[in-house]
Amino acid sequence: MPLSSRMPDLTEFEVLLAIAETGSLGAAAKKVGLTQQAVSARLASVEARIGVQLAVRTPRGSQLTPAGVVVAEWAHQLLDVAHHVDAGLASLRSDARSRIKISASQTIAEQLLPRWLMSLRTAAARRGTPVPEVTLTATNSSHAVADVTDGAADVGFIESPSTPMNLRSKVVESDELVVVVAPDHKWARRPRPVGPAELAQTPLISRETGSGTRDSLIAALQHAGCDLEQQAPPVLELSSAAAVRAAVLSSQAPAVMSRLSIADDLAFGRLREVSTPELDLRRQLRAIWVGGRMPPAGAVRDLLGHIQTMQRLQRGTSAT
């Protein structure tokens, strides 16, 4: 039920209590940091709003009427509760700035977040500000979405091609999937690229259902016109990029993996990239949260702002 329009606000109750405690408008004005004229105006405003006289002037100052004494007692109780709520909100703000629970897909948790978090820590130490306490859960994109939606995480990071309608998101990085094989696989030596249909019909070592990598591959195959009803079942379904990598190295089955997670393997020839020019395997990596357009105030907003600053500096370095 909404409050009556006759209900005074908290600052007006503070003025009334100051008059009750000091016994004069002048002393009350000093106590609340206002002019005597402002205190007199607020008292008159409260009395006009509620329709009851609360104080009278006497030769020795100002004195509450019997009704004023009753209202002052109520005001005291109300302000006690308000101060308790204010302190609680301050504690929540402090927690929001000092602690952050993150749920991130494995590629982001393993390849990006350690660098981001250490850079944030260094920046906080340089400024002399507290370093947030971080709890990071490495999972898949589907579980990260669930953690953020359920409140188990303050912010999530996903690789999925789309974001649920009930969450806000922000692109934090870009990535590309690549088809990879062991060096002795026949695809490592073939001169022509692999087309979308051939890839779809080839049994792959795959991430599990709910993985952003798997969902991104499916979206790319669909965009290329592949009939997913005809897609070959996986050779293996594994729950981490490290497990997929190990399986590729020890078998004759290809896999589709994040370039971020196997950059060194490609550079040193431990894995071979297979050309797929007809497939657009680029993707955007996103931060997700519940609430308004802006990320939640505190550690979440600090982290995402720091990531954005790092990207801006990196682009500037690359340009030079």
pLDDT of amino acid 177: 97
Distance CA 285, CA 105 (A): 10
Confidence of residue 91 (pLDDT cuts 50, 70, 90): low
Q: What's the chain's Rg over C-alpha atoms?
A: 31
The stretch 170-191 carries a mean pLDDT of 95
Find, among 239, 198, 159, 241, the residue nearest to 249 by Cα.
241
pLDDT band at 95 (very low <50, low <70, confident <90, very high): low
Write down the CATH number for the domain with range 10-95: 1.10.10.10
**What is the share, in percent, of the chain residues with pLDDT greater than 70?**
95
- Residue 96 identity: A
Is residue 179 scored above 80 in pLDDT? yes
In the chain, ranges of CATH 3.40.190.290 domains: 104-320
Q: What fold is seen in the domain 104-320?
A: D-Maltodextrin-Binding Protein; domain 2 (3.40.190)
Residue ranges matching CATH 1.10.10.10 in the chain: 10-95
Rounded Cα distance, 19 and 15, in Å = 6
Judged against a pLDDT cut of 90, whether residue 107 lies above it is answered with yes
d(CA 211, CA 93): 33
pLDDT of res. 257: 97
Give dist(CA 39, CA 45) in Å, integer. Answer: 10
Q: pLDDT tens digit string along 225-245?
A: 999 888 999 999 999 999 999
